Structure 1
Amino acid sequence: MFLSLPNTRAQTQPQLNERIKPGSSLSPPISDYQSSWLSRSGLFAFGFYKQGNNGFVVGIWLVGKIHSTLVWTANRDDPPVTSTAKLQFTMNGTIILTDQQGQEKLIVDANARASSASMLDSGNFVLYGDNNNSSIIWQSFDHPTDTLLGSQSLPCEGQLSSSLSETNSSTGRFHLNMQVDGNLVLYPAYIAETGWDAYWASDTVRANVKYYLYLNNTGSLQIWNSGNDSSIVTTLSYAEKDQQKTGGYQTIYRATLDFDGVFRLRAHHVNNGNANEKTLGCERNYSKAECRGGKDGVAFYDMVPMNNIVWKDHPYFETEDISSEQHCSFACLVDCNCWAALYEGSRCKKQGFPLRYVSRTHEGDESSTAFLKVGKNSIKHWKWNDTHFYPQPPPTKTTREVNKLVPWEVIDKNVMENIVKVALWCIQDDPLIRPTMKGVVLMLEGITDIAIPPCPDLSSS
């Protein structure tokens, strides 16, 4: 029930802010004014989030390249505002929304004077006191709506409420309550919230205790005892170790009571690489193909050579059974786990992500040629019945004298040649480059071009 772990910049004129000063303001993103305040890394934003065709709500969201994920909403049951609305941060510790009718509504009220505000990389929006720049006088983590983020807790008597739908952040039909009796319980809305009404409970009832729900930064969702002997009562869900090891990517966890009433834990793997931070790596500028048996996705990739490369990282695969640079490159092309190949002497080395510890030297220095797998086109526009989807092998000599196979019959030379090439693909020594049955049918029917297969390794027979 709790584990669902799929894999995640801002709108008009976003600005990365460490501290936001009183007097700062925001407007919806269709205007020329700033529409959001970003965290230092740009992972989270506070401001106007588009909802529906022309409406906007004030909230916090996890910034995504394709779509963003709303994690907190202010005044969530108020109707969305229009493009003429405005947010104003005041020295009195308030953030005020002025809507299209000129009416003012409190979004944040710290009940104290504020010196600054900040959108933190944890997803927490905070206000700092006037007398102490490090003293937090208000934070969004104390007022969750439907989501807990890493290092956020749901206190005793706290509640999460689902959204109305995937596109409407208003209060929905389900609640998650951290009860005074220590039990964490899911209820439908608009009922008496008795034991008979619950559709899930943690069964952690205990008298005279105060428990709270906590999501830590490594993806463990736990109920804790808040007494003097603060300790874990139970772990409801946790991220698997292979999901925590993301090869240099930052992982952001969130636990959300979705609109369908299911409480789900999700992991978002984020790479913050950019051109000015050379040690952080780079993001892909193409979509990754789905791995289908190690070969059906190679239509999306090319192997690009880079000379004078020194690679200090350990490969995940290394062999002396590949006889040339071309065959080493091709072996990486048809391996969906391989993103770079290096041929040194007589050894072929395959590298997976992250690609690291790589440098380029001057000609004449001890180095090798690396082959990098790069995307050709956007996967969104590719169809599985497109032609030329089968990998092109290293060049192989052929005399095309297939008529000698059946000299006693008159045959269509092209048909016979295609049959022979398909047969040779099917008996390749490396099972990873043998075609699927679907691939065989497409080749024999003439839908897919048939590349000349590489020569088999006679030494293995």
Structure 2
Amino acid sequence: MVSPLSHIHLFLFIFITTLWIFTTVEAQRNVSVGDFLSADGESAPWQLPSGDFAFGFQLIPGEEHRFLLAIWYAKIPERTIVWYANNSNRDGPGPAAAVRNSKVELNRTGHLVLTDPGNNELWSSGTVTNDSRVSHAAMLDTGNFVIAGENSGNLWESFKYPTDTILPNQELDVNGSLFSTLAETNYNKGRYQLRFDQGSFILNQIDMFTKKPYNGYYPLGAGSRLIFNDSGYIQIRNSSGSPLNLAPVNVVPRPESNYYRATLGFDGVFTLSSYPRNPGGGGERWSVLWFRPEDICQTLVDNTARVGIGPCGYNSICETNNGRPNCTCPPGFSFLDEKNPHTGCKQDYASYPEDCNTDGSTIEADRFEFKTMSFADFPFSDYGVLQPATELECRQSCLLDCSCAVAILQDPSLSPDGTGTCWKKKLPLSNGRFNRQSIDRTTLFKVPKSNASRKSPDTPQPGDENQNQAVLILSALLGTSAIFNFLSLAAISSILFCLHRRRMRDVDRTVHSRRDLETNLRSFTYKEVEQATNRFKEELGRGAFGTVYKGELPSSYGNFVAVKKLEKVVQEAKLLINSKTQTQTGVRGTKGYVAPEWFRNTPVTVKVDVYSFGVMLLEIICCRKCVDFEMEEEAILTEWAFDCYNEGMIEKLVENDEEGRNDLGRLEMISKVAFWCVQYEPILRPCMRTVSMMLEGAVQVPSPPCPFPVNSMSKIIV
């Protein structure tokens, strides 16, 4: 018989053993104050012993010494990331990337802090309020990393600050949103956002310059809260709590057998995917269960109202393939970035002002030819329309027009009279699409001929003399009958040629008259200008010749304009006649922006305005005045900025701008445009049309030479 004392001893042994096991498991699960992880590629992440998720450092693909502080699936070989630390949480410009030997620590003030090897703070989860005490942190099996308080409440959690992914048991309310990454392996903030706006859950495209959503959008449903429930369904709930199942469609989720995640991809497609929890023999992949929009190439065109650049960037063509945008470049164009086709395309040849006549027509139009593409369209960027027009008329009109880069012809076979409509387009081209089912247009791309070169029409070409001799010999051998037939054919040809020339003159007159209307160039009466400025009410600034006022033209001409009233015309995740292009006059202009030719006793051209624009562009980049006496050796902005660029320290221009330092490639491109504008010699400065195309990414920006003469000294004109 076993004594009662033995039962007590056995119970105590079991109790102590169980308590030790629970204590050990708790210690393995929880992160205590003072615990930290190092970004060395060897530290074990924070996770449950058999957890589905891990919290720690992940090496950024393609980089050897930069890490993401992230959460990922611990049991999936491809280490799918579902959250990463973002600068200023989700509203920051990009990820809080850490170099090797950086560390993250749960400090005594109760928040996670990411620091570099020099102990400089890179990211923080935020400060805990003074009346709350931290208990521990933990990586939960839901994929949520939490900092828990002693009262069992969560003081911070990663679910409240999503990046591009949401998981089951996670919610988004009116203050929450998802941001896409810039590329598949580039975790900088991308071009798309999912957010609530006025009672709707919508997809927005982001303006990469202002970082704000475009007016265009794609609605996914009405409500004020997005819930990804633990059963695997994505629901939108309105203020009354009624749910609307958004996804998946015709599929019953099985959370006990599969992992689920919903991600806003870098290409703008919101996708629900699944992955088996217990893989078989390997080779498993994420399976797509549902995605929206179904055709992102068409969707953004329908909802952007003539703004935005589409999923593939400027000058590109977008084709939807299983919901994803497939980006290609049209004939005569190539990718701006071969590694990321979604950034747009550039023209393979550059057009210059000297390619155009003063009336806007093309010089030596026979140097160009057209390459066609059916079922393609660029719905915006048009500036001229011919209707009705045959394909020949459409080609001829675009060929003779220097501004025309592409012409779109609607299928003439759809018209009763066999003619179509021709839209002429100029660069940059936006929202290009390709669709065999829905687009009935043909795109004509104007490209230079492969053997094109500029020739004088009076210069004889090799072989002309031999051809003339052959013609003479052949003519001498012809009989009377042949001569008669030749003369008859010549007469008929002359008649047809005259008729054709008359028709082409009519077409040319129509083209030129329409061009005058389409370019919106016209003279305004004083009364019209007075009405547009509300009797010159709102003053914008003053200059040497008069005052600049804010005005608004009728909607058919545009929006806001600046009107200068001359006052001295008689005396002076300034107006010249049309035939004059240069003048000799006294120095005029705001100090610091004045071009060198004002002080060289040389003719002044429109290139002085290009110089002023370049100085202003550098001021915008560097956030400082063009002349600052307090800067001593750095007093003159143009010289200091070029020195920084020339010495490979372009980041010094934006040393106080974190967002600018995260996109040094674009910073360098814009700076090079400015340096071209402030060249000492006016002939080296581009025209404003070329400057605009450079800034829009339509043409490449070559490396500029030194803007200043080698033997020049810094001078400040006051």
Q: For the pair shown, which has the larger CA radius of gyration, 1 or 2?
A: 2
User: When you count helix as a share of all residues, which structure comes out higher?
Assistant: 2
More strand by share: 1
- The TM-score normalised by the length of structure 1 is 0.49
Which structure has more relative contact order (CA 8 Å, sep 6+)? It is 1
TM (norm. structure 2) is 0.32
